[in-house]
């Protein structure tokens, strides 16, 4: 049979063996985890580089489109100013003669209206005196 010291040594050896097995399993799992993490980072890097290149190309195309939109906006502003100037010139060229024609027609109507009224009064006076 085992003595107390031998039994304590046996228990200590079993405990150390269990701890060693536990540490080996944990170390093995940690190694697998690190390998998988390294693989995931590598795949991420491989997939990210083309995405960043595509993103840079997209940003360049967007900048080119914005430059064209700026040109179009500037041309539109210039065209709007030209149309506004032409409208002003047309209005001033047409408005002056139209006002004169309207004034003339008003004056002619008034004169003709008075002439008719005078002619009507004269015919009434002639009838009354006859």
Task: Give the count of domains, the chain.
Answer: 1
Question: Which residues touch 10 (CB under 8 Å, ≥6 apart)?
Answer: 2
Question: Quick check: is 111 in a domain?
Answer: no
Q: What is the mean pLDDT of the chain?
A: 89
20 in any annotated domain: yes
pLDDT in tens, 16-47: 999 999 999 999 999 999 999 999 999 999 88
| Residue 117, in any domain of the structure | no
Domain-embedded: residue 125: no
Q: Which residue has the higher pLDDT, 12 or 2?
A: 12
Domain that holds residue 90: 7-97
In a domain, 27, yes or no: yes
Q: What is the DSSP letter of 2?
A: -
The answer as to whether 1 is a domain residue is: no
Q: What is the mean pLDDT of residues 39-57?
A: 91
pTM: 0.42
Q: Quick: pLDDT tens for 66-92.
A: 999 999 999 999 999 999 999 888 888
Domain assignment present for residue 26? The answer is yes
What pLDDT score does 130 carry?
65
* Residues 98, 91: Cα–Cα separation, whole Å: 10
């Amino acid at each position: 049979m085992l003595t107390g010291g031998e039994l304590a040594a046996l228990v200590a050896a079993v405990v150390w063996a269990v701890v060693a097995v536990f540490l080996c399993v944990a170390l093995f799992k940690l190694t697998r985890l690190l390998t998988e993490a390294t693989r995931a980072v590598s795949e991420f890097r491989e997939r990210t580089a083309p995405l960043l290149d595509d993103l840079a190309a997209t940003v360049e195309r967007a900048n080119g489109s914005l430059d064209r939109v700026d040109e179009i906006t500037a041309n539109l502003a210039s065209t709007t100013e030209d149309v506004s100037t032409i409208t002003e010139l047309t209005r001033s060229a047409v408005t002056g003669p139209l006002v004169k024609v309207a004034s003339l027609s008003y004056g002619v109507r008034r004169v003709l209206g008075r002439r008719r009224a005078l002619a009507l009064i004269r015919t009434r006076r002639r009838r009354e005196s006859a």
